[in-house]
Amino acid sequence: WWRPRLPGDVIPTHYNINLNITVDQPHFHGRVNMFANVTRATSVLLLHSSKEMIFKRSAVWMVASTPEERQIKNSFYFDKNEYYVLEMADTLKEGRYRVELVYDAPFQILPYGLYRSSFKRPNGSKSYFAATQFERSDARKAFPCLDEPALKATFNVTIAHHARYVALCNMPISSSTRVDNQIVDQYYQTSVVMPTYLLAFVVGEFWNRESRSRNNILVKIFYFSLKMRYYARPSVVNHTAYAESVGGKIMTYFEDTFGVNYSLPKADQVAIPYFGPGAMENWGLILYAEDYLLWDADSNTEQNKQLVTSVIAHELVHQWFGNIVTLKWWNDMWLNEGFAKFFEYKAKAVVESVWKKV
């Protein structure tokens, strides 16, 4: 745990993540089951986490026909490298394991990790929401994990939230269960294999507009159209109309150019009132600061329109360069961004030829 990089002897394959998100409260509750292969015998398990997390339960199971719980001798947080350290009573031999962690944690205040913020409705009342920003290394603020870009896995996410809010994740909803008059458990489809920094979720009072690209998603022998939805706070949701008019066109251009279809059944675009990086290419759930997704002819300029087009194109390029093909470590970020910047200009010319730059 003294080293800043994980030792590489534990390889995650899948996460089951259950979150209870009440946006008008300062804390959330989580349960994570991480499935991983131990490739070299070890007596220590390291997971990235946040020092604010309070762990209620930690357990390690060997996955077998008869699951066997392995005893944890000691656990502690190593602040320098943001590790939650599990020292085992006995050495874990090579094999498949399940690590279960139950915890409480605060929402972040700044727009990184899983954070909480609010916006004002037209009547002056406050509406709280929760959103995520995990790149580069802030997934660990939402759930304990192996938070390095090369350590890809699949994810099943369940979010319990108030029924009056929308809850979005990378994948479509597979089912919902009404817990009581107020709370809904929302289950999402299993994700594609991806790094932790591309996982995302949003809970809050957001409305959407919807469009479709060319029919191009092949499922068995049937073609279904890709669903692209555009979300914003209710009072400005109509300002996503321009983004809706160009999003499908840009997506189709990239599919034709790369010869590889978009990988997921949906591509949600969400304008977040308080968002740190400008925009983020989370697979299937792209988040934007409002200025980078919303455009209104009465209050914005042609320059604003070009900016919105550029950012949408940039984030959609990343669905291929960055998401399908992912950097091994952050020192290769220039390659991710270089491809995205180049094809951003190409896509702008498809939308409007007078914007052609390359």
10-204, CATH topology level: Immunoglobulin-like (2.60.40)
**Going by DSSP bridges, is the β-strand pair 10-20/27-38 parallel, antiparallel, or unpaired?**
antiparallel
pLDDT at 81: 96
Q: How far is CA 271 from CA 111, 202, 239, in A?
A: 14, 11, 10
Q: Which two tokens stand for residue 265?
A: 């059944």
pLDDT at 3: 87
Q: Which of 54, 137, 44, 138 is nearest to 97 (CA)?
A: 44
pLDDT tens string 70-126: 999 999 999 999 999 999 999 999 999 999 999 999 999 999 999 999 999 999 999
Q: Are 21 and 52 in contact (CB under 8 A)?
A: no
pTM as predicted: 0.92
Which residue positions form the known binding site for Zn(2+)?
A: 314, 318, 337
CATH superfamily placement of domain 207-355:
Neutral Protease Domain 2 (1.10.390.10)
pLDDT at 148: 98
Q: Are 84 and 72 in contact (CB under 8 A)?
A: no
Which residue positions form the known binding site?
A: 314, 318, 337
Give the chain's length. 358
The set of residues, in sequence order, having a beta carbon less than 8 Å from that of 91 and lying 6+ positions away, is 41, 42, 43
All CATH 2.60.40.1730 domain ranges in the chain, comma separated: 10-204
Distance from C-alpha of 321 to C-alpha of 340, rounded to nearest angstrom: 7
Distance from C-alpha of 137 to C-alpha of 50, rounded to nearest angstrom: 11
Q: How far is CA 8 from CA 151, 155, 266, in A?
A: 9, 20, 33
Q: Are 102 and 55 in contact (CB under 8 A)?
A: yes
pLDDT tens string 32-45: 999 999 999 999 99
pLDDT at 225: 55
pLDDT at 33: 98
Amino acid at 339: F
Place of tokens 């591309």: 198
Distance from C-alpha of 27 to C-alpha of 18, rounded to nearest angstrom: 14
pLDDT at 218: 29
Catalytic residue IDs: 315
- The ranges of the chain with pLDDT < 50 are 213-224, 358
pLDDT at 351: 86
Amino acid at 83: Y
Distance from C-alpha of 172 to C-alpha of 84, rounded to nearest angstrom: 31
pLDDT at 67: 84
pLDDT at 1: 78
All CATH 1.10.390.10 domain ranges in the chain, comma separated: 207-355
Q: Which two tokens stand for residue 248?
A: 């499908």
Task: Give Cα 242 to chain centroid, integer Å.
Answer: 24
b/e 261-292 (16+ beta carbons within 10 angstroms → b)? ebebebbbbbbbbebeeebbbbbbbbbbbbbb
